[in-house]
């Protein structure tokens, strides 16, 4: 969980494939509005200000082993480096009865916001990943690793880093 600001955005590059939008889940808690979610040029952008509850997910079929956020108020670039196995099963974490319980997402981002009764868990936002699902035999174990790295500093240095790692220009992300 991370502290949101009015100027925080999640950035998730993904592999360009035909009909790639169908591999993005954007209705975990109801459809996310267009002013909060943008999918453009094989990159997903999510506004994370802690004011509107929503969650997105990226299928392993298009996921790249990277996701990020940028807090333009504090100049903080957060990079998530997950393990992604394209042909593996992932638990579907939508809160509903599952037709396909093992066709879930490997990368998720969540923006907290008020619940229907007006209460709120945070505010906070998250960038997270899931391991592949595997039925384990007695005594068997499985390891999963991800790295989360926070960079804070000079905006132009972070902009160059984001360009090199994410292939996005933070100036364009900020304008959205």
Report d(CA 107, CA 83) in Å as an integer.
Answer: 10
Report d(CA 59, CA 35) in Å as an integer.
Answer: 22
3 state SS for 109-138: EEECCCCCCCCCCCCCEEEEECCCCCCCCC
Along the 176 residues of the chain, how does pLDDT read in single tens digits? Answer: 999 999 999 999 999 999 999 999 999 999 999 999 999 999 999 999 999 999 999 999 999 999 999 999 999 999 999 999 999 999 998 888 888 889 999 999 999 999 889 899 999 999 999 999 999 999 999 999 999 999 999 999 999 999 999 999 999 999 99
Decide: 75 and 153 in contact? Cβ < 8 Å: yes
R_g over Cα of the chain: 16
């Amino acid at each position: 969980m991370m502290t949101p600001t009015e100027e925080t955005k999640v950035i998730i590059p993904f592999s360009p494939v035909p009909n790639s939008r169908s591999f993005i889940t954007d209705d975990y808690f109801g459809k996310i509005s267009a002013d909060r979610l943008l999918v453009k040029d094989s990159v997903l952008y999510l506004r994370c200000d802690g004011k509107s509850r929503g969650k997105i997910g990226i299928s392993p079929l298009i996921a790249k082993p990277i996701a990020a956020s940028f807090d333009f108020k504090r100049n903080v670039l957060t990079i998530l480096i997950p393990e992604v196995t394209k042909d593996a099963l992932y638990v579907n974490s939508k809160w509903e009865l599952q037709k396909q319980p093992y066709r879930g997402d490997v990368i998720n981002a969540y923006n907290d916001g008020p619940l229907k009764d007006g209460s709120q868990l945070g505010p906070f936002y998250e960038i997270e990943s899931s391991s592949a699902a595997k039925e384990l035999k007695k005594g068997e174990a499985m390891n999963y690793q991800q790295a989360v790295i926070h960079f804070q500093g000079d905006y132009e240095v972070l902009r160059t880093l984001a360009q090199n790692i994410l292939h996005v220009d933070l100036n364009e992300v900020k304008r959205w």
